[in-house]
Amino acid sequence: MRGVRSSYGHEEQDAQTYADWGVDFLKYDWCSASQVYKGDEMQAAYRKMHDAIQRTGRPMVYSLCQYGLEAVWQWGASVGGNMWRTADDIGGDGYARVMVFGFGQDGLQKYAGPGHWNDLDILQIGIGKLDADEEKTQMRLWCILAAPLLAGNDLTHMSPTTLALLTNADVIAVDQDSAGVQGHRVWNEGPLEIWVKPLADGSKVVAVFNRGQSELPVTVRFADVGARGPARIRDLWEGKDLGTFANGFATSVHKHGAVMLKVTEGN
């Protein structure tokens, strides 16, 4: 770091240093950049560092950290970004902020795809701000949104429960699906929301969220999620096949909880 200016005027030098160090991921932060750049120079500034990285010959994941300013989702990919922050720092403020960040992504799915992603900031799992259901909810929500999964906890000191939450293979596979589609909201009623993410194999992942203050029943109607019955249902979090259903699937969702289902058409 060079005071508030950081890489300003030293983009080539810094990019080559990162390459020499074997860096795979560069998060390029806009902190204090307004002291040296005008607001309409943001895109050019990010492009300049991208071009410097390219000239090193070392591939790096290029993360634009500018807190959703200037509608970055509309131009992030065009300046070489592989991911860009769509909102402010998530901090450690608990469930309410996680939900604002997560559910605020609806409508941005058209800007995400293989190689360029909307970034909702780090996971709050294992840092003590969310209860057990809320932690599972964040993991499910980030994965159905195809968001980058960046752990925010101390990886050297975590419980087996936290490790299991962060390494659930079936849920991570939703985030990492090769089709690269970001999920979107298809239904809501009061505190209940249903989101859908189509997968490369033709199946769909459906996540049901309960933002309310008590456990609530909900029925996932296949017509609402773009599927035709009969369809096989698998609970991805529990790793259990639940059977084949004709027109929909009834379940209940804990307060601040979520259910994530894989819906595959056919018997």
Positions annotated as catalytic residues are 29, 89
Helix (H) or strand (E) holding 84: strand 83-85
Picking from 161, 160, 150, 89, the residue whose alpha carbon sits closest to that of residue 117 is 150
116: DSSP letter: B
Preceding omega of 230 cis (within 30 degrees of 0) = yes
Is residue 150 left, alpha or beta, with left meaning phi > 0 and alpha meaning psi from -120 to 50?
beta
Helix (H) or strand (E) holding 95: helix 95-103
Picking from 41, 36, 42, the residue whose alpha carbon sits closest to that of residue 68 is 42
